[in-house]
Amino acid sequence: MTMRLLVSAASSDDARAALDGGAAIVDAKDPAEGPLGPVSIDVFHAIVAAVAGARPVTAAVGDARDETAIEALARDFAAAGASLVKVGFAETSDIRMVDTLARAAVRGAAAGHAGSGVVLVAYADRAHNAVSPAALLEVASSAGAAGVLLDTADKGGPRLTELAAPGWITEWVRLAHRRSLSVALAGRLCAADLPILAACGTDVAGVRGAACDGGRNGRISAARVRELARACATAR
């Protein structure tokens, strides 16, 4: 199966450019608010309207800290049209707390829309005070998440492919698939990284900065997205 390209949009204009360039998934995220910064619900409504059902729309909802808050966020974004909500755990390595927060997000997404799911996020560059990628697989499987994402927290630091060897990524993807979890990889990816990640067996490659004129905080360029989409289509 061809690896799909996810492009993170901060506005309805970004979303339209991502669509024009051939993104398979349009993700809503505010890059100024961190690696999983949520857009406002009004901006999210505008993104959903711009996509108009042409592609799935997903939403980053931040790093979970509070059970009630993350359940409400997941519910609100799912109700507004998110097929998946992405939840991180940057500030805790307590696996019981991560499990509690993950279950709250899954409950919220299901309450918002019966077809919405949750993707749990681990960071390859957070060795301390964050859930490990290996532990995240167990939580995602037991909590009923739809998938997992391995990302980077520091968007000025190394790319994912500089932090994790292809062999390690391949095994992590394999273990996730064994648990019937979809897998996305992100983290300052560029076009040259996409064949590497496709060879690792991932389902989705997520980009923001590589799709923008002016870097991560710039505006999405349809031409840049088109180049990345071609790289995904030809990667094996």
Tens digits of residue pLDDT in 23-42? 999 999 999 999 999 999 99
Distance in angstroms (rounded) separating the CA atoms of residues 215 and 212:
5
CA 29 to chain CA centroid, nearest Å = 9
Among 120, 157, 125, 152, smallest CA distance to 137 is for 120
Copy the structure tokens of residue 13.
Answer: 């204009």
Average pLDDT score over the chain: 96
**Residue 211, pLDDT above cutoff 90:** yes
Domain that holds residue 133: 4-234
Domain of 225, CATH number, reads 3.20.20.380
Q: How far is CA 224 from CA 129, 158, 193, in A?
A: 35, 21, 15
Would you give the DSSP letter of residue 146?
S
HSE-up of 66 (CA within 13 Å, CB side)?
4
SS3 assignment, position 13: helix
Tell me if residue 29 is catalytic.
Answer: yes
Q: Which of 4, 29, 126, 188 is catalytic?
A: 29
Vertex 49, ends 47 and 52: CA angle to 5°?
110
**Residue 128, pLDDT above cutoff 80:** no
Residue-level pLDDT at 127: 67
How confident is residue 79, by pLDDT bands cut at 50, 70 and 90?
very high
Total domains in the fold of the chain? 1
Tell me if residue 155 is catalytic.
Answer: no
pTM: 0.96
Q: Which of 4, 86, 103, 216 is catalytic?
A: 86
**Residue 194, pLDDT above cutoff 70:** yes
Distance in angstroms (rounded) separating the CA atoms of residues 20 and 175:
34
Residue-level pLDDT at 168: 97
Would you give the DSSP letter of residue 185?
E
pLDDT in tens, 42-72: 999 999 999 999 999 999 999 999 999 999 9
